Structure 1
């Protein structure tokens, strides 16, 4: 048992180190410019690869775009990413997303996700919160890229709609449940 917790502690240390150096040397302005570049790239990818997301973007009151989430796990897992909250084409704030979980799991992956706030109330609740957690502060209808194969329209009746896309790595499936969003 001590052996397993020793390995888990080392893995978490490595994950923390990777997250800390991912923006090392960038000033706040450069960091936010980099986030903007990645957000724009993710939106273009989503529009090209996932059918009918443009309609969802038009209907949404706001979007939280997290262009790169890195997840790693060995019994205990964690994920982290940074992104922007946009209303229309204007960025209001920058956010981090973080998730911690445990259970039978092993691997690493990267993916992107977007939360679409479909009502003014949902957007306001997110924007005015001090740390927003999916599952605790709001339920979201989560759609994965494979859900869109052969879909003509996106008709989801939820205040918050999440799309997970661009999954690469060894962990199959990404869950946003329990993800906490905090202003940078």
Structure 2
């Protein structure tokens, strides 16, 4: 038992001490946006997979975290950098950058890098993403999201949740339990992306900031797949 607890402590510490404040340059951020664009395209282009239509129509924000890395072999300490866009009256917003870190056994996602997607399905989920930091399952109700374009709302899970969570690994797309993972704003990268000028996350995600050229492909891809379903 002491060995397991010690391993858990080391895994959490390894995530906590990873270089999360390492400065990214604009090229890094454009690469991250390109990877997030590809994740959305590949998930939603899957004929029998993807996010169900009734969730697509409810989505208020989409967070994409490409290639989450594991920090430990047995205990699931993991870390990733991602981007978020939110639905506004004028369309999907310019993006902001976030970090995700987890240090619990429940966040075990396999031996390879895994793409994660978080879908906010109501205004509370939107407000969660405006916080500087929150824990899934504690500060924000989260649930593994259902999969399948035509999945029935009658059998759903989870619309009591604020955020639905998904993973994609080796081409397979499925809901995942991310309770215990911590999502935090990456203000340094967001400021770099917007030319070194500090812009509040709320302003960007409410649509007050024009989508930069480097983010247009990502925002267009999200808008293509997360449209209003009639």
- What TM-score, normalized by structure 1, do the two folds share? 0.70
1:134: how far off?
A: 0.4
Tell me the residue number matched to 1:140: 142
Question: In 2 relative to 1, CA 27–96 (structure 1 residues): closer, same or farther, beyond 3 Å?
Answer: closer
Match of 1:92 among 91, 95, 101: 95
1:54: how far off?
A: 5.5
Tell me the residue number matched to 1:36: 33
Distance 1:77 1:52 in 2: 25
The alignment partner of 1:91 has SS state of coil
Question: In 2 relative to 1, CA 160–97 (structure 1 residues): closer, same or farther, beyond 3 Å?
Answer: same
Tell me the residue number matched to 2:203: none
8 A contact 2:133–2:183 mirrored in 1: yes
Tell me the residue number matched to 1:122: 125
Gaps of 5+ in 2: 187-230
RMSD: 3.6
Tell me the residue number matched to 1:47: 44
1:102: how far off?
A: 4.9
The alignment partner of 1:116 has SS state of strand
Distance 1:72 1:109 in 2: 11
Where is the strand percentage greater, Structure 1 or Structure 2?
Answer: 1
Gaps of 5+ in 1: none
- Paired residue total: 166
The alignment partner of 1:123 has SS state of helix
Q: Cα deviations across residues 34-76 of structure 1 (Å, max 9, x unaligned)? A: 2111110110011022245465334211111112212243443
Higher relative contact order (CA 8 A, sep 6+): 2
Match of 2:116 among 113, 116, 124: 113
